[in-house]
Chain A
Amino acid sequence: MATFLGINLFALSGQLLVGLINGSFYALLSLGLAIIFGLLKIINFAQGAMYMLGAFFAWMALNYMGINYWAALILVPIVIGCIAILIERFLIRPIAGEDHLYSLLLTFGIALVLQGVFTHLFGSSGLPYKIPAELSGGTKLPFMYLPNYRAWIIVISLIVCGSTWWVIEKTKLGAYLRAGTENPQLMQGFGINVPLITTLTFGFGVALAGFAGVLAAPVYSVSPDMGSSVLIVVFAIVVIGGMGSIGGAILTGLLMGVVEGLTKFFYPEASATVIFLVMVIVLLIKPAGLFGKEA
C-alpha cells in the first residue's frame, strides 16, 4: 500500500480522479451557461434538464435504434442544439425585452416539464448505459488503476472546452460573439445578423450540455433528476467564477471538481456542501467572483 505522511495515495488519487471527472462535467455545463449568458444575458435553468435529455437520448438511441455511443456523441448534441434553437426562437425571444428574471422562470418551467415527462416515461430509478467496448478496461498506473473511459471523459471534455475557448477568443466568429456581448445594437448596425448569432449561440451552449449528458451516461446512471442536482452545483460554480470570462468558467469548473474530490477524501461529510461553502467564502471576499468584472 503506497502511503505518504499516513495518507493512502491509492484512495487519494482515486478521489482526485473522480473529482477531475466531476470537474469536467462542471466545466462543460458552466461553459455552456457562460456562453449563453454572454449574448442573451439570461441564465438557462433548463441546462441541467438538457444534460439529462442528452443522457436519455443516448440511451434511447442505443436501445430503440441501435445507434452506438460514438454516433450518439455526435448526433445527440446536434438534436439537442436544434431543440434549443426552437426553444430560443419560439419561447425565449418573445420575452427578450422583458426583465431577465422572466427568462429564468421560463427556462425553469421548461426544466420542470422535461424532468416530469422523463420521470413519467422512465420512472425515477436510473437506467444503465454500457461503456463502449473500445473504452472498457483500464490502465495500471504506479499509484492507481485508471479506467479508460474515465480518462476519455477528462481528455475529450478538455478538448471540447479548449476548442470552444479558442473559437471564442481567437477567431473572427468569436470576435463577433464578443462584440455582440459588448454592444449588440452597434453590431447590428455594422450589418451582422445578431438575432441569428444569438439563436445559434443558445443552440451551441445547450448542445454542450447535451454532449455532457451523453458523456455522463456510462458513468452515472441515466435518471430524470440527474440534471437538477448537478445544475445547482454548477450555479454555485458560476457564482464562484463569475461569468465574465469563458476561460474562467472552464477553470473554475475543473477546480471545483478537484476541491470536491479532495474533500471526499479528507472530510467526506462535507463533500456535498463544500462547493457551496466555497461560494460563501468567495461572496465574502470577492463578490464579483474570481474571474468576474465588478458590475
Chain B
Amino acid sequence: MKINKLYLVLFLLALVAPTVLYPVFLMKVLCFALFACAFNLLLGFVGLLSFGHAAFLGTGGYVTGAMMLHTGMGPELSILAGTVAAGLLGAVYGKLAVKREGIYFAMVTLALAQLAFFFYLQSPFTGGEDGLQGVPRGSLLGMIDLSDNMNMYYFVLAIFIFGFWLIHRTIHSPFGQILKAIRENEPRAVSLGYNVNDYKWVVFIISSALAGLAGSTKTLVFQLASLTDVHWHMSGEVVLMTLLGGMGTIFGPVVGAGVVVTIQNYLSGGELGNYIHIIMGLIFIVCVLAFRSGIVGEFQKMMKKNFG
C-alpha cells in the first residue's frame, strides 16, 4: 500500500511537471529513463552487462524516423515498427551474446553494436553523418496533433509508464524470479533444470525492444535520428545512468537518467561543454570506487538503517 502511494504521488508530479519545467527536457529525461530501465532489466536483474544497447536505441530511432518520413504511417505504427525492429535485432544479437558470460558478454555486445554502427553509417536510408532530419511528429490516431509539445509530453509519459509497467511486471513475475535466481547463482539455476540461456535470451529481447521503444519515441521528440544514438558513447551513457541511479533498483535508472540528462543540459549550454566526457568519466570512477549501490540504492540502505 505504501509503495502504491509513492507511485501515485510520482504520477501526479509527472502530470503537472510540464507546467514548471520545459517539456522537451522532461521528454528527454523520460526517453532516457525508459532506455536505462530497459538496460537495467539486464544488468540489475540478470547480471548481464550489455555494452551495446545503443544499437537498439538507434535501430528504433532510425526505423521510426524512416517510417514517418517515407510512409504515410502515423506515429503509433511507426513507433511500433521501431520497437519491433529493435526487438528483432535483439533476438539475433541476444542469441549470439548469451553464448558468452561476464566480461565476454560485454565485449560481444559492444562489438555487435559497432557492427550496427557501421551498418547505419554506410546504409543509404540513414543519411550517413547527417542522420534523418526533420522527422514529422504526425498526429496520434489522426486526431491529436503531436507537434504541440504538451500533447507530445503526455504521449511520451504514457509510453514511459507502459514500458515501466512492463518491466515492473517482468521483474515481479515467476519469470523474473528465475532471472534473479540466475543472477544470484547461475549453476544452481542450471541444476534446477532451467535452461538459463533461453531465459537470458528472452529477457534480452524484452530489454532491446524497450530500448528500441525509447529510441523511437526519442526520434519523434527531437524529430531527428542520428549516429549519436548508435555510437558506443551512448552505450556507455546508459551504463552510467544505471550505475549512478542504482542498478537492480526499479527507480534507480530513472533517477540516474534524470541526473545525467540534467548535467548534460547544464554543461552543453555553458563553456564547460568541453568537459562533458571528463565529468562523465569521473562520475564513473567515483561510482565504482565509492558509490556502487547508486543514489537509490544508497537511499534505500539509509532508510533501512534508520527506519527499518
Contacts and interface: CB of A to CB of B under 8 A. Distances in A.
Do the two shown chains form a genuine complex with each other? yes
Interface of A: 37, 42-43, 91, 94-95, 98, 100-106, 108-117, 119-120, 228, 232-233, 235-236, 238-239, 269, 272-273, 276-277, 279-280, 283-284, 287, 295
10 contacts: A91-B285, A101-B106, A106-B289, A110-B285, A114-B281, A116-B281, A228-B232, A236-B111, A238-B107, A280-B115
A105 B275 CA distance: 19
B107 to A, nearest CB: 4
Given A235-B110, A276-B111, A113 B278 contact: yes
A277 B103 contact: no
B107 A112 contact: no
Interface residues of chain A: helix, strand, loop or mixed (majority):
helix
B23 interface: no
Given A109-B280, A117-B278, 8 more contacts: A105-B243, A106-B285, A108-B236, A108-B281, A112-B236, A120-B274, A283-B99, A284-B96
Interface residues of B, number: 39
B110 A105 contact: no
Given A116-B277, A235-B110, A100 B103 contact: yes
A119 B281 CA distance: 13
B276 interface: yes
Interface of B: 49, 96, 99-104, 106-108, 110-112, 114-115, 118-119, 122, 232, 236, 239, 243, 274-285, 287-289, 292
Contacts of A94: 289
A4 to B, nearest CB: 30
A235 B99 contact: no
B292 A98 contact: yes
Given A273-B115, A276-B114, A111 B288 contact: no
A12 to B, nearest CB: 23
Contacts of B282: 109, 113
Given A239-B111, A277-B115, A101 B49 contact: yes
